[in-house]
């Protein structure tokens, strides 16, 4: 599939002003953007993405001032996080203000807000008279796109254009933080680590597993390749794999065998940030490689490693449970 690749911000702005959808680069993953304040445009985002209407969208803007105007109230902790991490891979879940269409929040009393860090998208957002709603630009349930080509492959013929900002720098979605009972809680792990948030606000909770509304980033099976992914001790899993040449190994920092070009090492430099940046592209490559199985391993459970492990766990899950 091909898409209308755009390199100029004003072109993308014209489509958005015209009520059309444009995929936008962010530092986390590509988003599928449309005017957040126009319910008909938001409905079109749900249709193109084949996304269930109970799954709310993040609103993206250029500044805390623009976004906080969409909230009914802003806890002090949210302002601190915005000061520290915006623009950046952090989404704040705040009580929703009256301007936000029902469809964006799926009827929830909370709205998700984020200032992304990609320079092209920031320039685009500054040039628009409205904020944009933007889910990750992939069909619902599939691996998020980290290049313009990923978007073109799956949604290219259904949207007005794709603003090409190169490969995403972080590679994992934003961390979602809300304030149930006034205290910060993480609803989705992502590009800002729990440790970084705790350095600012003190101990932070993991949000309850089954909140209302449901955040599908919390669904057990999500971010999933079609090829089965099994996680564990790679040598042990390889020893029991029936046909080693039909299996691909996805490892953190070192190869486990030689002579199998399908294998991928996420971070030869041993850095978690490198692994995060490469994870989704690696899952797509492996999915297209015709293997019968992907064998992977857990990463160190700290910093970005916890968000990566969360995505691996969901990519490996067999069923959609967790509703
Ligand atoms: O990094 C990101 O966050 C990317 C880029 C494009 O900004 N966006 C992204 O959007 O990952 P999406 O739609 O794929 O995931 C957003 C998550 C979903 O799990 C959704 O349920 C949750 O945020 N969410 C959005 N609004 C919410 C709300 N009002 N209440 C609870 N969860 C919400
Ligand atoms: Mg998504």
Cβ–ligand 1 distance for 110 under 6 Å, the answer: yes
Compute CA distances 196 → 81, 95, 204, 267, 278, whole Å: 10, 24, 10, 22, 22
Cβ–ligand 1 distance for 173 under 6 Å, the answer: yes
pLDDT(216) > 90: no
Ligand closest to Cα of 30 equals: 1
Q: How many CA atoms lie within 13 A of 218 on its CB side?
A: 18
The predicted structure's pLDDT at residue 276: 98
Cβ–ligand 1 distance for 116 under 6 Å, the answer: yes
Cβ–ligand 1 distance for 114 under 6 Å, the answer: yes
Choosing among 3.40.50.11030, 2.40.10.10, 3.50.30.10, 3.40.50.1820, the CATH entry for 229-315 is 3.40.50.11030
Cβ–ligand 1 distance for 122 under 6 Å, the answer: no
Report the 3 state secondary structure along 263-283. Answer: CEECCCCCCHHHHHHHHHHHH
Span from the CA of 138 to the centroid of ligand 2 (angstroms) = 7
Cβ–ligand 1 distance for 154 under 6 Å, the answer: no
Mean pLDDT, to the nearest integer, of 86-105?
98
Q: Do 78 and 94 touch, CB atoms closer than 8 A?
A: yes
Q: Residue 169 in 3-state DSSP?
A: coil
Task: Kindly give the number of the ligand 1 atom that is closest to the alpha carbon of 108.
Answer: 29
The predicted structure's pLDDT at residue 154: 95
The pairing of beta strand 90-95 with beta strand 110-114: antiparallel
Cβ–ligand 1 distance for 120 under 6 Å, the answer: no
Q: Which tokens sit at 15?
A: 């489509």
Q: Return d(Cα 95, Cα 271) in angstroms, integer.
A: 37
Ligand closest to Cα of 218 equals: 1
The residue contributing the CA closest to ligand 1 atom 24 is 56
The residue contributing the CA closest to ligand 1 atom 15 is 135
Ion ligand 2, residue ranges at CB < 5 A: 136
Cβ–ligand 1 distance for 177 under 6 Å, the answer: no
pTM of the model: 0.94
pLDDT(88) > 90: yes
The pairing of beta strand 175-178 with beta strand 5-6: unpaired
The predicted structure's pLDDT at residue 323: 27
Q: Walk across the sheet containing 293-296 and list its strands.
A: 229-231, 293-296, 247-251, 264-265
The residue contributing the CA closest to ligand 1 atom 19 is 217
**Per-residue confidence band for 213, with pLDDT thresholds at 50, 70 and 90:** very low
Q: Domain ranges in the chain? A: 5-206, 229-315
**Cα dihedral sign, 91-93-99-105:** positive
Mean pLDDT, to the nearest integer, of 125-149?
97
Q: Do 115 and 69 touch, CB atoms closer than 8 A?
A: no
Instruction: Give domain 5-206's CATH architecture.
Output: Alpha-Beta Complex (3.90)
pLDDT(305) > 90: yes
Q: Return d(Cα 118, Cα 70) in angstroms, integer.
A: 22
Tell me whether domains 5-206 and 229-315 share a fold. Answer: no
More confident residue, 126 or 211: 126
**Per-residue confidence band for 220, with pLDDT thresholds at 50, 70 and 90:** low
Residues 188-211 pLDDT 10s: 999 999 999 999 999 998 886 544
Q: Return d(Cα 141, Cα 163) in angstroms, integer.
A: 23
Q: Return d(Cα 248, Cα 229) in angstroms, integer.
A: 9
Site to probe by mutation for ligand 1, drawn from 88, 131, 173, 189 as the one with most ligand atoms within 8 Å of Cβ, is 173
């Amino acid at each position: 599939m091909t898409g209308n690749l755009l390199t100029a911000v004003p072109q993308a702005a014209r489509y958005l002003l015209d009520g059309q959808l444009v995929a936008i680069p962010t530092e986390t993953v590509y988003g599928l953007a449309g005017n957040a304040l126009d319910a008909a445009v938001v409905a079109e985002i749900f249709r193109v993405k084949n996304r269930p209407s109970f799954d709310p969208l993040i609103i993206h803007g250029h500044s805390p001032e623009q976004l906080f105007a969409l909230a009914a109230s802003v806890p002090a902790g949210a302002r601190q996080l915005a000061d520290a991490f915006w623009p950046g891979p952090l989404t704040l879940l705040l009580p929703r203000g009256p301007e936000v269409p029902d469809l964006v929040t799926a009827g929830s009393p909370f709205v998700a807000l984020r200032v992304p860090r990609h320079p092209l998208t920031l320039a685009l957002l500054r040039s628009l008279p409205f904020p944009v709603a933007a889910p990750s630009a992939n069909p619902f349930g599939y691996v998020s796109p980290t290049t313009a080509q990923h978007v073109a492959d799956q949604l290219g013929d259904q949207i007005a254009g794709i603003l090409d900002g190169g490969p995403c720098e972080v590679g994992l979605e934003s961390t979602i933080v809300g304030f149930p009972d006034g205290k910060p809680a993480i609803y989705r792990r992502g590009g800002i680590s729990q440790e970084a948030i705790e350095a600012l606000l003190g101990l932070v909770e993991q949000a309850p597993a089954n909140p209302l509304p449901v955040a599908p980033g919390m669904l057990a099976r999500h971010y999933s390749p079609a090829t089965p992914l099994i996680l564990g001790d790679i040598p042990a899993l390889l020893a029991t794999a029936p046909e080693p040449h039909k299996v691909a190994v996805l490892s953190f920092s070192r190869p486990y065998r030689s002579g199998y070009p399908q294998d991928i090492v996420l971070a030869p430099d041993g850095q978690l940030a490198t692994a995060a940046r490469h994870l989704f592209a690696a899952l797509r490559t492996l999915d297209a490689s015709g293997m019968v199985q992907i064998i992977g391993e857990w990463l160190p459970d700290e910093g970005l490693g916890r968000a990566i492990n969360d995505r691996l766990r969901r990519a490996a899950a067999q069923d959609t449970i967790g509703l």
